[in-house]
Amino acid sequence: MIYDKYMQKCFRLAEKGRGFVSPNPLVGCIVLDKDNNIISKGYHHKYGENHAEREALLKLKNGEENGGTLIVNLEPCSHFGKTPPCVDLIIERKLKRVIIAMQDVNPIVAGNGIKKLKNAGIEVVEHVLEKEAKSLNEVFIKNMVNKTVFIAVKTAVTLDGKISTSNGSSMWITSSKARDKGKLLRKYYDAVLTTSSTVLADNPKFDCKTKILIDRTLKCDFSMQYFKTGNIFVVTSKSDYPKCPKNVTFVYCPEKSGKLDLLYLFEKLYRMNIMSVFVEAGGTLNGELLKLGLIDKIYMFQAPKILGDNNGKSAFEGNSINDINKSFNFEIESIENLSPDILLTLKK
């Protein structure tokens, strides 16, 4: 298709906002003149700031966009939010054509922007690289359609699927290149979630803005380096809270069968406007999330090492399956070479 290459440019522009625009979607925009020359670009930089279309159009002051084409990966908004409707500005600037990858799943917009453009006599071309557009905004779609948190699990394993030896030795399974990639992925999500078992075993820093610690019985010591940075939510079933640092907030979660009720927890996190969670924990929590069907994406860093120990700890534990056809199935989205390791990205 003639517009595919331009839409791919929109995707790359949209990616620049990853980690900054939540709970908004990732959006990039390109404006062409009458001769299909690119005359402006824009993307949504940060939540509360101009949308991609508005940024691109406001860069133009001489009317060169009149009769031209606007290309955007998501249907332009038609309502007042943090900023005015993008549709109104597109109509005002006398664009002839608008190319859209996917319709907005936000019920406030959902087709209304497209309808308004068509009613103004603007040609609208839809579904250009729609599959890729939906993949780009998978978090936003999950939030809007299912009204719940998008959950990604990151793990580092040997070739035989182990995250540590039987006595807990795990540093380091993967190389520094893989670990740096993992740190980058954290920044793409609203919060990084781990457990007291991981913090007590490794005392990680987890350098990120928001952390969620599952500590059912409040075993962790606030003097640990984990608590030195970020805004931290400590999830517990306790009702009596000890004195804590200013950056720590306790979040109550009831128990169910002797464990924290994870379904309750993620519903609560969604109400707290935490739209996506990056889980870095052990096999017990990973296995429970798997069993409950809560995992949307898995980042599996795999090292060319074989432990060969049946008692080594696995990345996903606690599920006894006797029939291979009843396995939990995921689709391989991508394979990235981080020599000597690889990163397998899998989606539900």
> Exposed, middle or buried by CB within 10 Å (0-12, 13-18, 19+), for 232?
buried
- Active-site residues, by number, are 53
**Cα(30)–Cα(40) distance, rounded to whole angstroms?**
6
**Cα(288)–Cα(292) distance, rounded to whole angstroms?**
6
3-state per-residue secondary structure call for the chain: CCCHHHHHHHHHHHHCCCCCCCCCCCCEEEEECCCCCEEEEEECCCCCCCCHHHHHHHCCCCCCCCCCEEEEEECCCCCCCCCCCHHHHHHHCCCCEEEEEECCCCCCCCCHHHHHHHHCCCEEECCCCHHHHHHHCHHHHHHHHHCCCEEEEEEEECCCCEEECCCCCCCCCCCHHHHHHHHHHHCCCCEEEEEHHHHHHHCCCCCCCEEEEECCCCCCCCCCHHHHCCEEEEEECCCCCCCCCCCEEEEECCEECCEECHHHHHHHHHHCCCCEEEECCCHHHHHHHHHCCCCCEEEEEECCCCCCCCCCEECCCCCCCCCHHHCCCCEEEEEEEECCEEEEEEEC
